[in-house]
Amino acid sequence: ETAMNKFGDCLYMRKRRLGEKHEDVASVLYAMGFTLLNKEEYERSMSFFEEALIIRIDVFGVKHSLVGDTYNIMGCIEKTREKLDKALVFLTKAFQIREQIGEILKASDTLEIIGEIHQEQCNLKEAVDCYEDSLRMRRSELGDKHDKVADALISLGTVRYDMSLHDSAMANYKEALEIRRDVYGDFDDRVASVQQNIGIMQFRAGNLTEAKHHLDDFVKIRRVNKTKEAADYVNILSMIGNIHRINGDETQAKAAWSEALEIFKHIGLAKENPELARTLDNLLESPDPAEKQNTVIGKISVNLLGEK
């Protein structure tokens, strides 16, 4: 509130000196909206962005970068509030402005958000169209070896996987993996996240050797970086245990499940999810191969393939 009070004083002085319709007034309103956005006060923040938008259209006309920026952030807020139809209206206007004035990378960012909304609404064909156009724009502006290109490939791979286009999805993910390796090196957590998703896809497809290769790389990177342990790590260890059991290596399977259970308890998930803790306990005791499907896979983290 201290910041908002100072912005309020600044706004009052600028309105007195410059009048109501001036970009310096709009910039303060925008900053006030952004401050409230950071505090997750979405409804209040929208009122300031709306006022800033009116001034900017009046001062600059519709086809201006600042107008596009304001539409974009308003669309993102409405997406966060799950008002998806309103979000699409604002984001579509932002995209059109950004494309028309030549802000291609900004336009690609907006398209990716529009694609996410279509994906949430299960309009998967529309989502693919958005992600493909975003990818094309990024390749054109940045070349093939850039992390924003990898981001677009992952988004495209995710929706294609949802459409059961598994070969196309895998191709997207593997290209994203190579880009992130080129950009960040082999032992970066952003590389690990792609290894994780490829490993899960391969496991679900029954390609166990390929799955284990990628999942082992994920674990190796996380251990090297001493990344904070989380549910996704437990999930992958459980999956690796499954692969060992399917391959008949009960000792390695139980080693992976034991580590998963230890971490599961250490990070406090056992208290929140006692049934899942019991599932892991049972796995360590059960010799029945049919139990390989009765694990925490898909229960702790349902949408692992949505990660970027």
pLDDT digits (tens, 9 = 90+) for 206-215: 999 999 999 9
Mean pLDDT within 272-290: 68
Asked whether the beta carbons of 203 and 166 are under 8 A apart, the reply is no
Report residue 301's pLDDT band, with 50, 70 and 90 as the boundaries.
very low
Question: In this predicted model, what pLDDT tens digit does every residue of 218-245 receive, in sequence order?
Answer: 999 999 999 988 888 988 999 999 999 9
Check pLDDT > 70 for residue 303. Answer: no
pLDDT at 10: 94
Check pLDDT > 50 for residue 259. Answer: yes
Token reading at 288: 């029945």
CA 194, 180, 308, 158 dihedral sign is: negative
Question: In this predicted model, what pLDDT tens digit does every residue of 243-258 receive, in sequence order?
Answer: 999 999 999 999 998 8
Check pLDDT > 90 for residue 88. Answer: yes
Distance, C-alpha 7 to centroid of its chain:
32
pLDDT at 286: 61
Side-chain-facing half-sphere of 141: CA atoms under 13 Å: 18
Q: Who contacts 144 (Cβ-Cβ below 8 Å, separation ≥6)?
A: 179
Token reading at 28: 């303060």
Check pLDDT > 60 for residue 101. Answer: yes
Q: Who contacts 162 (Cβ-Cβ below 8 Å, separation ≥6)?
A: 119, 124, 305
Question: In this predicted model, what pLDDT tens digit does every residue of 151-178 receive, in sequence order?
Answer: 999 999 999 999 999 999 999 999 999 9
Token reading at 19: 């009048």
Check pLDDT > 90 for residue 261. Answer: no
CA-based diameter of the chain, in Å? 79
Question: What mean pLDDT value characterizes the chain?
Answer: 90
Report residue 292's pLDDT band, with 50, 70 and 90 as the boundaries.
very low
The better pLDDT of the pair 112, 262 is held by 112
HEC assignment per residue over the chain: CHHHHHHHHHHHHHHHHHCCCCHHHHHHHHHHHHHHHHCCCHHHHHHHHHHHHHHHHHHHCCCCHHHHHHHHHHHHHHHHCCCHHHHHHHHHHHHHHHHHCCCHHHHHHHHHHHHHHHHHCCCHHHHHHHHHHHHHHHHHHHCCCCHHHHHHHHHHHHHHHHCCCHHHHHHHHHHHHHHHHHHHCCCCHHHHHHHHHHHHHHHHCCCHHHHHHHHHHHHHHHHHHCCCCCHHHHHHHHHHHHHHHHCCCHHHHHHHHHHHHHHHHHCCHHHHCHHHHHHHHHHHHCCCHHHHHCCCCCCCCCCHHHCC
Report residue 77's pLDDT band, with 50, 70 and 90 as the boundaries.
very high
Q: Who contacts 154 (Cβ-Cβ below 8 Å, separation ≥6)?
A: 172, 173, 176, 194, 197, 307, 308
The better pLDDT of the pair 302, 35 is held by 35
Amino acid letter, residue 139: R
Q: Which of 123, 124, 196, 112 is nearest to 148 (CA)?
A: 112
φ/ψ bin of 227: left (φ > 0), alpha (ψ from -120 to 50), beta (otherwise)? beta
Mean pLDDT within 193-202: 96
Asked whether the beta carbons of 263 and 237 are under 8 A apart, the reply is yes
Question: How many angstroms separate the CA atoms of 204 and 140, rounded?
Answer: 34
